[in-house]
Amino acid sequence: MKSYIFVHQGVSDEIEFALALLGYIVIRLPSFGALGPYVCCHPDSLLFPLPDGRLLMHENYYRENRELFDRTGLRFALTDEPVGAEYPQDVLLNALALRDVLYGRLDSVSKTVKAAYNKHVGVKQGYARCSVLALGERAAVTADRGLEKALLSQGASVLMLPPGGIILRAAAPSGFDEKGKKIKPVGDAVRCDGFIGGSGVMLGEDTCGFFGDITAYKHYEQLQSFARSHGVRLVSLGTGPLEDMGGAVIAGLK
């Protein structure tokens, strides 16, 4: 079985090599010009793994990168719902699915995503998937009080961590805007208010990998203790500070 992992196009070669050593075929996602610079390369804003195994994406993004996606042999679903660079138009696919429950800003989440789940829990935080680090199906880490309350209401075990200490880097969108005008690149703006969910990804049932050195994260000890209590070990995929890269999307091909 081939296992693909879709990641931010800006991941380091070090991180790509670490994922390849674990057996993944690494696909760097190109930017999507319809989204803003801080999320235009983020897997959790570009792809949504549906329960039936298909990956949902915007049809314009698929059309721009059809050759890249088609050569994987994976199955895709497309949506033409409105998407934009301003919040909350940029959260169409940024919903969290945990234990068959969908969490998200329901007035902004794709109808296709909502139709795939019978139970929905609405939250104010539009970047629901990026804001939550899921450690399996029953444990989660977040800095968002609304998501904490929503997850607890559905029986999940939740660790609340203070925000901050995670890098969020802008990327230059590529392509053309809706008027056909080429999008101007932006500088490499860097913030320190990235989300914990976007900094890591579950690699199997008992391992969570991080974009950067997780041991350097200021809340590492607390996070490690919580993860260990749920049978999950934490591994660093690279060196340097922890970075919100929009998580990753894993898909298998039998």
- Cα 237 to Cα 14, 17, 20, 58, 190: the distances in Å are 7, 9, 11, 29, 20
pLDDT of residue 254: 62
pLDDT of residue 253: 73
pLDDT, mean of residues 129-136: 97
Percent of the chain with pLDDT over 70: 93
pLDDT of residue 172: 62
pTM of the entire structure?
A: 0.93
pLDDT, mean of residues 103-124: 98
DSSP assignment string, 41-110: T-HHHH-EE-TTS-EEEEHHHHHHTHHHHHTTT--EEEE-----SSTTTT-TT--EEETTEEEE-TTTS-
Q: Is the bond preceding 49 in cis, omega lying within 30 degrees of 0?
A: no
**Structure confidence by residue, pLDDT tens digits, 82-101:** 999 999 999 999 999 999 99
Give 134's Cβ-side CA count (13 Å radius): 25
How far is residue 121's CA from residue 188's CA, in Å, rounded to a whole number?
35
Banded pLDDT at 189 (limits 50, 70, 90): confident
Going along the chain from its start, the domains and CATH numbers come out as 2-253 (3.75.10)
Encoding tokens for residue 84? 């934009």
**Structure confidence by residue, pLDDT tens digits, 5-60:** 999 999 999 999 999 999 999 999 999 999 999 999 999 999 999 999 999 999 99
DSSP assignment string, 12-38: -HHHHHHHHHTT-EEEEEPP-TTS-TT
- CA neighbor of 121 nearest in space, from 149, 143, 145: 149
Whether residue 43 contacts residue 248, with contact meaning beta carbons closer than 8 Å, is answered with yes
Please tell me the total number of residues recorded for the chain in this structure: 254
pLDDT of residue 2: 87
